[in-house]
Amino acid sequence: MALTKEQIFHAADQLAESGESPTLANVRKALGGGSFTTISEAMNEWKAKQQATTTPMREPAPEAITSRLDEIGAEIWAVALDKANARLSSEREALEATRVQLETAQQEATELADQLSVELETLQAQHLQATQDLQAASTTIETLRQENASKSRQLATTEARAEETTKRADDLKAELQHAHAENTAQRQRHTQETQALQERHTSEVQALQTNLSHTSDTLKTQTAEAVRLQAQLDQAQTQLASLHQQQQVDQERHAREIQQLGERLDKAQAEKEQVLQAASTSREDAAGLRGELEALRVQNAALLATLTPAAPDTPKSSKAKPTNKQ
């Protein structure tokens, strides 16, 4: 609500009656606020009215002087009053000039005070906004810090899973190589046993060769499966290495590429599970093959055991034939 001149005059009158100087600051304080410019204009008018009420006074000479001095005393008194009035007039003119200067300076001061008030309010608003922005920025930084820590933990977990998957792949590769070596050794042993049996019993050896051929086909199939699994393992290891490099780059990009990395790792995990399932199937087939080979080994041992006693009879039969011819 805008201040009126009457309110400003009333506040100045109260301050003057209470013995306080009616300055702009005291009047503004008594009014509880307001524009310095409005208060200054009203106070200039109030001070002008106060000065207008102080008119020069003319008093007659005392009776004692008039009675003693008569006309000379009256003239002297009149001259004294004229000089006093002249001096008072000059002092008033000087005071008026001083008042004008003071009013000008006061006007400039009030305008500067208003400008400073506006600037102060603007700075306070800017400070409040900056404080709010700083709080929002601090909250955002804390949120990003927490997200970064969470992503770091996720990345560490993912790397641990990748290392575990790589270790499993290495173990599977070692098992496949061992199975391949064992199959190769068994095939070599069966080849040697087959050659030994061929020298004594052709028919039985042919049957055994048929079984061994079937076994060889099975081994070839298992070998091809092992090669395919090896290729899948190499591809999975390549994908894991690529994913690991991608993880190091994605660590700087936070949420978006972490999600892509999770999808790729899930895909790699699925492929690993497929490889593990295939390897499990291969191990089962290899176990079955080992069972068949063990059965063939037992069968060959039994066959050799049955053939061993017949070796001494062969020379006897060969000697008997010449006797019959004679």
Q: In the predicted model, is pLDDT for residue 74 greater than 80?
A: no
Question: If pLDDT is split at 50, 70 and 90, which confidence band does 261 have?
Answer: confident
Calculate the CA dihedral of residues 98, 99, 101, 105 and round it to 10 degrees: 130
The pLDDT assigned to 320 comes to 43
Measured CA to CA, the distance from residue 90 to residue 94 in angstroms comes to 6
For 234-259, the pLDDT digits (tens) are 887 787 777 777 767 766 777 777 67
The pLDDT assigned to 272 comes to 81
Q: In the predicted model, is pLDDT for residue 172 greater than 80?
A: no
For 264-297, the pLDDT digits (tens) are 878 878 888 887 888 788 788 878 888 888 888 8
Q: In the predicted model, is pLDDT for residue 13 greater than 90?
A: yes
Measured CA to CA, the distance from residue 158 to residue 260 in angstroms comes to 13
The pLDDT assigned to 319 comes to 45
Residues 6 or more apart whose CB falls under 8 angstroms from that of 113 comprise: 36
Measured CA to CA, the distance from residue 110 to residue 116 in angstroms comes to 9
Burial 12-30 (b: 16+ CB within 10 A, else e): beebeeeeeebebeebbeb
* pTM for the predicted model, two decimal places: 0.28
- Reduced to 3 states (helix: H, G, I; strand: E, B; else coil), residue 171 is helix
The pLDDT assigned to 321 comes to 45
- Reduced to 3 states (helix: H, G, I; strand: E, B; else coil), residue 251 is coil
Question: If pLDDT is split at 50, 70 and 90, which confidence band does 92 have?
Answer: confident
Sole residue written with tokens 């039985």: 204
Residues 6 or more apart whose CB falls under 8 angstroms from that of 151 comprise: 251, 254, 255, 258
- Reduced to 3 states (helix: H, G, I; strand: E, B; else coil), residue 22 is coil
For 174-198, the pLDDT digits (tens) are 887 887 788 788 778 867 876 776 6
Structural tokens at position 266: 């899930």
Ordered by start, the domain boundaries in the chain are: 1-52, 153-306
Structural tokens at position 10: 């009333």
Question: If pLDDT is split at 50, 70 and 90, which confidence band does 322 have?
Answer: very low
Q: Residue 172: is it exposed, middle or buried by C-beta count within 10 angstroms (0-12/13-18/19+)?
A: buried
The pLDDT assigned to 93 comes to 84
For 194-247, the pLDDT digits (tens) are 677 667 767 765 666 787 677 668 768 877 886 887 888 788 778 777 777 776
Note whether 215 and 190 are within 8 A (CB).
Answer: yes
Structural tokens at position 237: 């290891």
For 123-165, the pLDDT digits (tens) are 888 888 988 988 888 898 888 889 888 888 888 888 888 788 7
Measured CA to CA, the distance from residue 155 to residue 240 in angstroms comes to 14
Question: If pLDDT is split at 50, 70 and 90, which confidence band does 59 have?
Answer: low
The pLDDT assigned to 7 comes to 92
Q: Residue 210: is it exposed, middle or buried by C-beta count within 10 angstroms (0-12/13-18/19+)?
A: exposed
- CA 41 → CA 11, 48, 93, 103, 181, distances in Å? 14, 11, 21, 9, 111
Q: Quick one: DSSP state of residue 308? A: G
Cα end-to-end distance, the chain, whole Å? 158
Question: How far is Cα of residue 240 from the mean position of the Cα atoms in its chain?
Answer: 26
